[in-house]
Amino acid sequence: MKFIIDKNNPDIYFPDPYFAPDDFPLAYGGDLSVERLIFAYKNGIFPWYSEDEPILWWSPNPRMVLFPENLKIQRSLKKVLKKNKFEIRFDENFEDVIKMCATVKRKGQDGTWITTEMIEAYINLHKIGIAHSVEAYIDNKLVGGLYGVSIGRAFFGESMFHIVSDASKVAFVYLVKKLQEWKFDIIDCQQATVHMARFGAIEIPRNQFLDILKISTTKPTLLGKWDKDFQEIII
């Protein structure tokens, strides 16, 4: 079996995702250290597991992605956007966003894959300026949002929540508009959903996705909080 190894830390490695199972974990175990997560995301791998399982690492095939320039906004959502019902902020309340993503109930879904260990790990990524949140507020109350990881000119979406209709949708539109402005190449949606397809997301072969990441993740990363000054750094 072929492996990919982190040049900066040879103790961090994964099976080569080009040869991963289509719909089965690529690997299990390890940890959720900042270094391992960055290496995983750069190579199209992400953790997804339940509280009673070991850490499971995935690189599914095909991969659902949204190319920012292909964003579609449904007519009904355009009407919501025109009303300016929500105030959208970036990176002001990351911890509350990820905790809400873990606890707000979703129709047809029991429990959550966002474990306590995952919450801590992504808060650590946020602290170093790689994980980001987009938040929707009404009267200064957080009513929806999303979070994800940004490396180079690739954004890896993780989860979203809403307690007011359309809040997370509006937050997502604002995110994509900002990524368009910053000339991002791709948004990783991980698994295929009807929800993301309505925004223009499509499924592409994993090999194509990994080829895109090879270039996109070598571009400067917008490191820091996106609501303030940030630096463009190659990581």
**Domain end position, chosen among 26, 60, 94:** 60
Whether 103 and 177 map to the same domain: the answer is: yes
C-alpha 220/C-alpha 230 separation (Å) is 11
pLDDT at residue 229, rounded to an integer = 82
Whether 147 and 33 map to the same domain: the answer is: no
C-alpha 152/C-alpha 235 separation (Å) is 8
Whether 106 and 211 map to the same domain: the answer is: yes
Whether 49 and 143 map to the same domain: the answer is: no
pLDDT at residue 112, rounded to an integer = 67
Whether 86 and 195 map to the same domain: the answer is: yes
Whether 55 and 85 map to the same domain: the answer is: no
**Domain end position, chosen among 33, 60, 87:** 60
Give the CATH number, domain containing residue 53.
Answer: 3.30.70.3550
Determine the structural domain holding residue 16 and report its residue range: 3-60
Give the CATH number, domain containing residue 151.
Answer: 3.40.630.70
Q: How many domains, in total, are found in the chain? A: 2
Whether 190 and 205 map to the same domain: the answer is: yes
**Domain end position, chosen among 12, 27, 60:** 60
pLDDT at residue 180, rounded to an integer = 98
pLDDT at residue 228, rounded to an integer = 82
Whether 125 and 172 map to the same domain: the answer is: yes
Q: Which long-range contacts (CB under 8 A, 24 or more apart) does 3-7 make?
A: 4/43, 6/35, 6/36, 6/39
The tokens describing 172, both together, are 């997502």
The tokens describing 215, both together, are 């270039």
Whether 135 and 228 map to the same domain: the answer is: yes
- Residue written as tokens 């492996």? 3
Can the peptide bond before residue 62 be classed as cis, meaning omega within 30 degrees of 0? Answer: yes
pLDDT at residue 52, rounded to an integer = 85
Percent of the chain that is helix, strand, coil (3-state, to 5): 30, 30, 40
How many angstroms from the chain centroid is the CA of residue 212?
16
Whether 53 and 33 map to the same domain: the answer is: yes
Whether 111 and 28 map to the same domain: the answer is: no
The angle formed by the CA atoms of residues 145, 107 and 126, to the nearest 5 degrees, is 25
CB-based contact 133:126 (threshold 8 Å): yes
Q: Give the chain's length.
A: 235
Whether 118 and 218 map to the same domain: the answer is: yes
From first to last of its 235 residues, what are the pLDDT tens digits of the chain?
799 999 999 999 999 999 999 999 999 999 999 999 999 999 999 999 998 899 999 999 999 999 999 999 999 999 999 999 999 999 999 999 999 999 997 665 554 689 999 999 999 999 999 999 999 999 999 999 999 999 999 999 999 999 999 999 999 999 999 999 999 999 999 989 999 999 999 999 999 999 999 999 999 999 999 998 899 999 8
pLDDT at residue 107, rounded to an integer = 60
Strand partners, 102: none
The candidate with the shortest Cα–Cα distance to 26, out of 48, 11, 6, 10, is 48
